[in-house]
Amino acid sequence: MSTTILWYATRGAGVVSLVLLTAVVVLGLTSAVRWQTTSWPRFLTVGLHRNLALTTLVFLAIHIVTAVVDPFTALGWNAALIPFSSSYRTLWLGLGVVALYLFVAILVTSALRPLFGYRAWRVVHWLTYAMWPIAVIHGFGTGTDRGFAWMLGIDVLCIGSVTAALAWRWNRVSPTSWRQVASNG
Amino acid sequence: MARLLGDPAGSLPMPTAGGLIDRIEAANLVGRGGAGFPVARKWRAVAERAKGRGVVLANGAEGEPLSVKDRILMANRPHLVIDGALLAADAVGAPDIIFYVGAAHRAAEAAMTQALRERSHQLKGRARLVSAPHCYVAGEESAAVHFINAGDARPTTTPPRPFERGVDGRPTLVQNVESLAIAALIARGMEETAGLVTVSGAVGHAGVQEIERDAILADVAAAAGGLARPVTAVLLGGYFGGWAAIDEVWGLPLEPQSLRARGLTFGCGVVHFLAENACGVDATARIVTYLASQSARQCGPCVFGLGAIAESARRLAARATHPGDLERLTRWTGQLSGRGACKHPDGAAGLLRSALTVFADEFRAHQRRQCLHIPTRTMVEAVA
Amino acid sequence: MDQQLQVDRIHCDGHGLCAELLPEVITLDDWGFPVLKAGAIPVRLVEHAQQAVDACPVLALRLAKARS
């Protein structure tokens, strides 16, 4: 396969992964604040959140496989699967691998939630707050297109929307504050 | 005639444990803690699962504000309660016994502690006494087990119920102390079991009465010194019971089956007479406010539903109603049963339904901001 | 065999997705908590009931054999 196509696939899939992941995070926060309208029910937010996460996995796989398989990059599978093991941009690439592992952990616990139980699922899900920033920083550090204005624009949009969603989430009174856990001990 | 209280006339015959569950079943004994569940059926359920590893939890928490019979029984006849617990433990196959006594019942706790000490050679470390927190739901069976296991006296999701998995995950018999005492009398061949009721309200002297098997409500009032003033309604069974119009139940036998046939409950044996110049709406509002405050706050429908009902009931009692208060209260009451992890909302629903029936005219008047009585204080003294 | 929905009332936080996905059986009270219709779930709705179970954010919904 032409190395140029692989090269473009890696970069394109990387950008798409970032955008999709951003959407997934925003939808997750939207679900947490329980936002809904008559034409946009809760299950749509949750359903999209899950489906886009799986779509992200697909593009992430393309991003990683094309990068490893491309003879031009001289990256082996080790670089893709063992964090900080590549000689090429060790730190930034390594962060990408870390983000991948976090993502896989979140996906697996979510897919097998009845098996893991609610508590375990919830704790692992909090890793999202680490995974998404690490993915963004990976893009800044080693993204080929990071200098371009359009890429910068995408980055700004992604960071902006997650920040806004986070602020929305933090400003909401927790919907479960009524529990006031005070055990009769 | 078997006696739970009063002077033990000489020594009682030795109990025989053989076939005890069958004899309890023949006596139709139902639990005296409030739920009225058949005692024999519960013992059998635990016995089937215990395999020699069961636990008996003698429930003397008595969180029901209008009831004092359990603490009186434990204070006066602790050995009878211990007998019953030992017999139950042997019948179901339980090496361990826990006496769960309400922290506020000092005399009962002292008497039980002393009695346990006196019998330490017989008990051989099988039994211990645990202080139950002073709140309404602490006596609920899953809450009691949860407290023993984790120090948290809040009900847990069932299944599994305590008879399947309770203290330390073992099949646990949670039984009211009066039920155990009666079982101890049955074991001595005294089938003519009496029962304990706590009488309060518009009577000569409030307190615990021991009633005959065929006692009717009029007998109970007489034993309590007669009615102090004319009465219109009576609360049967406690805050988890219900109101009844006095003329409908005056001649009714106070035993579980005939009460249940009338849609009423014996519950934990509370009999509270409401004087005719007291306001049923006000009394109900106080009870529901108390029940709402005693929610374990684990389930939305209990926290919000009961809370909103209590708020509407208070507005109705104060005759400061908003339009639709009574209609909303009635609608919300219909949405309480079966919607919590425990039966707390169900109990409140039962009380409210009976109030809306018995005091229907009063509630309607209050919605119109009027009162059918000369406004006066409620007779429900014991409400927190 | 008859199936029934059961709610873990302690874990239920009143998200309400279940009522969106199975309105024939689940409605919400004034505070967003589920009220379940009594009885077994009609066979044609069992698949939707399973989707409702999967959608619950706190795993409070369960599909089980109906008790008599």
Q: Where are the alpha helices (DSSP H) in B151-276?
A: 177-187, 217-223, 246-249, 256-261
Total tally of structural domains belonging to chain B? 3
Q: What is the pLDDT of residue C67?
A: 67
B222 and B311, same domain (yes or no): no
Q: What is the pLDDT of residue B381?
A: 42
DSSP state of B168: G
Count of beta carbons in the 10 Å neighbourhood of residue B188: 16
- Euclidean distance between CA atoms B193 and B211, whole angstroms: 9
Q: What is the pLDDT of residue A185?
A: 38
CATH of the domain at B323: 1.20.1440.230
Whether A84 maps to a domain, the answer reads: yes
User: How many angstroms separate the Cα of B301 from the Cα of each of B349, C28, C35?
Assistant: 12, 10, 9
Q: Which residue of C has its CA nearest to A178?
A: C13
Q: Which residue of A has its CA nearest to C52?
A: A43
What is the rounded average pLDDT for all residues in chain B? 91
Per-residue pLDDT reduced to its tens digit, A152-168: 999 999 999 999 999 99
B91 and B133, same domain (yes or no): yes
CATH of the domain at B238: 3.10.20.600
Q: What range defines the domain where residue B353 resides?
A: 280-367
| Whether pLDDT at B373 is above 90 | no
B265 and B284, same domain (yes or no): no
User: Would you call A182 and B297 a contact, using CB atoms and an 8 Å cutoff?
Assistant: yes
Say which of C9, C14, C29 has its CB closest to residue B157.
C9
Contact B98, B55 (CB under 8 A): yes
Q: What is the pLDDT of residue B341?
A: 95
Average pLDDT over residues B224-228: 94
Average pLDDT over residues B326-333: 97
B35 and B155, same domain (yes or no): yes
Per-residue pLDDT reduced to its tens digit, B69-124: 999 999 999 999 999 999 999 999 999 999 999 999 999 999 999 999 999 999 99
Q: What is the pLDDT of residue B372?
A: 83
Please calculate the CA angle B225-B230-B234 and round it to the nearest 5 degrees: 80
Average pLDDT over residues C32-47: 94
B179 and B76, same domain (yes or no): yes
The mean-pLDDT minimum among A5-14, B331-340, C17-26 falls in: A5-14
- Distance, in angstroms, between B305 CA and closest chain C CA? 8
Q: Which residues of B touch C59 (CB under 8 A)?
A: none
Q: What is the pLDDT of residue A88?
A: 80
| Residue B301 touches partner C, C-beta closer than 8 Å | yes
Whether A125 maps to a domain, the answer reads: yes
| Whether pLDDT at B8 is above 60 | no
| Whether pLDDT at B207 is above 90 | yes
Average pLDDT over residues A127-136: 95
| Whether pLDDT at B377 is above 50 | no
- DSSP 3-state of B190: coil
Q: What is the pLDDT of residue B212?
A: 85
- Helix, strand, coil percentages (3-state) for chain C, rounded to 5, are 25, 25, 50
Whether B156 maps to a domain, the answer reads: yes
**CA nearest to B177, candidates B92, B90, B77, B50:** B77
Whether B3 maps to a domain, the answer reads: no
Q: What range defines the domain where residue A140 resides?
A: 3-179
Say which of C10, C32, C35 has its CB closest to residue B299.
C10
Per-residue pLDDT reduced to its tens digit, C53-64: 999 999 999 999
- Euclidean distance between CA atoms B126 and B161, whole angstroms: 23
| Whether pLDDT at B309 is above 90 | yes
**Residue B99, strand partner residues:** B58, B129
B175 and B202, same domain (yes or no): no
User: Would you call A185 and B298 a contact, using CB atoms and an 8 Å cutoff?
Assistant: no
B270 and B298, same domain (yes or no): no
Whether A185 maps to a domain, the answer reads: no
B157 and B124, same domain (yes or no): yes
Average pLDDT over residues C29-37: 96
DSSP string, chain A: --HHHHHHHHHHHHHHHHHHHHHHHHHHHHHHTT---SSS-HHHHHHHHHHHHHHHHHHHHHHHHHHHH-TTTT--HHHHHSTT--STTHHHHHHHHHHHHHHHHHHHHHHTHHHH-HHHHHHHHTTHHHHHHHHHHHHHHH-TTTTSHHHHHHHHHHHHHHHHHHHHHHHSPPTTGGG------
Say which of B153, B303, B304 has its CB closest to residue A184.
B153
B107 and B55, same domain (yes or no): yes
Whether B298 maps to a domain, the answer reads: yes
Whether B12 maps to a domain, the answer reads: no
| Residue A40 touches partner C, C-beta closer than 8 Å | no
User: What is the pLDDT confidence band of residue A1, given thresholds at 50, 70 and 90?
Assistant: low
Whether B31 maps to a domain, the answer reads: yes
Whether B250 maps to a domain, the answer reads: yes
- Euclidean distance between CA atoms B132 and A96, whole angstroms: 55
Contact A22, A166 (CB under 8 A): no
Backbone angles phi, psi at B132, to 5 degrees: -85, 135
Rounded percentage of chain B residues whose pLDDT exceeds 70: 92
Please calculate the CA angle A164-A167-A172 and round it to the nearest 5 degrees: 130
Q: Which residues of B touch C10 (CB under 8 A)?
A: 156-157, 298-299, 341
Total tally of structural domains belonging to chain A? 1
| Whether pLDDT at A182 is above 70 | no
B167 and B219, same domain (yes or no): no
Q: Give CA B4 to chain center in angstroms.
A: 17
User: How many angstroms separate the Cα of C68 from the Cα of each of B35, B45, C40?
Assistant: 21, 18, 10
B88 and B211, same domain (yes or no): no
pTM, to two decimals: 0.90
In what order do the strands lie in the sheet containing B172-176? B127-132, B96-102, B55-60, B172-176
Contact B38, B244 (CB under 8 A): no
Q: CATH classification of C3-65, choosing from 3.30.70.20, 3.40.50.2300, 3.40.50.720, 2.40.110.10? A: 3.30.70.20
B122 and B206, same domain (yes or no): no
Per-residue pLDDT reduced to its tens digit, B28-72: 899 999 999 999 999 999 999 999 999 999 999 999 999 999 999
Whether A52 maps to a domain, the answer reads: yes
**Pairing status of strand C34-36 against strand B231-236:** unpaired
- Distance, in angstroms, between A176 CA and closest chain C CA? 7
| Whether pLDDT at B199 is above 70 | yes
User: What is the pLDDT confidence band of residue A52, given thresholds at 50, 70 and 90?
Assistant: very high
CATH of the domain at B58: 3.40.50.11540
